[in-house]
Amino acid sequence: MHRHRDVQGGTARAAVFGVSDGLVSNVALILGIAGASTDPAFVRVAGVSGLLAGAVSMAAGEYVSLKAQAELVERELDIERISIAENPEAELAELAAIYVERGLGPNQARVLAAEIMADPDVALDVHAREELGVNPNQLGSPLAAAMASFWAFAVGAFVPLVPWLVGSGTGALWASAGLGVGAAATVGGLLARLTERSVVRTMVRQILVAGGACLATYFIGGLLGGSVD
């Protein structure tokens, strides 16, 4: 017997994407500013601002998104609950038809559906899974997902900022880029472990995304800085 992780709730997804988004967005921002200005104070202010603004934005967006999703599902569950109570025969026939489509004989499907419909709570749970494709017991916590997103983004965004808190100039620039790429590879490795995908392929994908963002914003920042001068 094996157990599955809860992949529907949203907290794990928010944490993983939060770290990745925080890392990529802030390393791109920091190197973009570094390409435009040689003043390390500007880079530090931009990095801290990007961290805070991004973390708050991610948390708010995650909360609103998951809250809206949960409310939509709860509304559909209410509709299903009322229908089970007021039109049990129609719901029984609907459930039996689903099982027939899955390969059961008509009589066997109806017997199974009748057994399920005998308990309203079980009936609602089964109808939610079969018709809506959701587990009503795993709708997720919007607040937990928002907090996971906030802290994950902040951690990811803090990594490329560290060299600018203790140094400046070309050394800090290369250290920031190196930390960003290294952290991207680490995130890719963790994602590969969680999803049981190729570790090398996932790490390379994350490095390319982070590296591409770094190069693009650095050169754009350099162009903008040159045009201002």
Task: Render pLDDT for 12-35 as a digit per residue (tens, 0 to 9).
Answer: 666 777 787 888 888 888 888 887
Domain segments of the chain as ranges: 11-228
Is 141 a residue whose pLDDT tops 50?
Answer: yes
Residues 6+ apart with CB under 8 A from 50: 25, 26, 29, 30, 157
pLDDT confidence tier of residue 169, bands split at 50, 70 and 90 = confident
Is 68 a residue whose pLDDT tops 50?
Answer: yes
Q: How far are the Cα atoms of 6, 14, 16, 31, 48 from residue 26, in angstroms, in the given order?
A: 29, 17, 16, 8, 9
Q: Is 144 exposed, middle or buried (0-12, 13-18, 19+ CB in 10 A)?
A: middle
Residues 6+ apart with CB under 8 A from 5: 12
Residue 158: helix, strand or coil by DSSP? helix
Q: Which pLDDT value is given to residue 12?
A: 63
Is 164 a residue whose pLDDT tops 50?
Answer: yes
Cβ atoms of residues 25 and 54 within 8 Å? yes
Residue 184: helix, strand or coil by DSSP? helix
pLDDT confidence tier of residue 158, bands split at 50, 70 and 90 = very high
> Which residue would you say has higher pLDDT here, 137 or 53?
53
Closest alpha carbon to 175 in 17, 18, 47: 47
CA 58 – CA 53 distance, rounded (Å): 8
Tokens of 185: 């590879």
Closest alpha carbon to 30 in 20, 18, 15, 40: 40
Token pair 């094996």 in the structure block, residue: 2
Is 227 a residue whose pLDDT tops 50?
Answer: no
CA 36 – CA 221 distance, rounded (Å): 4
Is 120 a residue whose pLDDT tops 50?
Answer: yes
CA 94 – CA 110 distance, rounded (Å): 10
Q: Which pLDDT value is given to residue 3?
A: 47
What are the helix and strand counts (H, E) for the chain?
9, 0
Of the listed ranges 91-105, 138-152, 207-221, the least confidently predicted one is 207-221
pLDDT confidence tier of residue 41, bands split at 50, 70 and 90 = confident
Is 184 a residue whose pLDDT tops 70?
Answer: yes
Cβ atoms of residues 30 and 50 within 8 Å? yes
DSSP structure class, residue 129: I
Give the rounded distance of the alpha carbon of 89 from its chain centre: 40
The arithmetic mean of pLDDT across residues 43-71, rounded, is 88
CA 182 – CA 190 distance, rounded (Å): 13
The arithmetic mean of pLDDT across residues 76-104, rounded, is 83
The arithmetic mean of pLDDT across residues 60-83, rounded, is 85
The arithmetic mean of pLDDT across residues 61-68, rounded, is 86
- pTM, two decimals, is 0.71
Is 195 a residue whose pLDDT tops 50?
Answer: yes
CA 145 – CA 63 distance, rounded (Å): 7
Token pair 């104070």 in the structure block, residue: 41
Of the listed ranges 47-56, 134-143, 163-172, 220-229, the least confidently predicted one is 220-229
Give the rounded distance of the alpha carbon of 223 from its chain centre: 33
Q: Which pLDDT value is given to residue 112?
A: 86
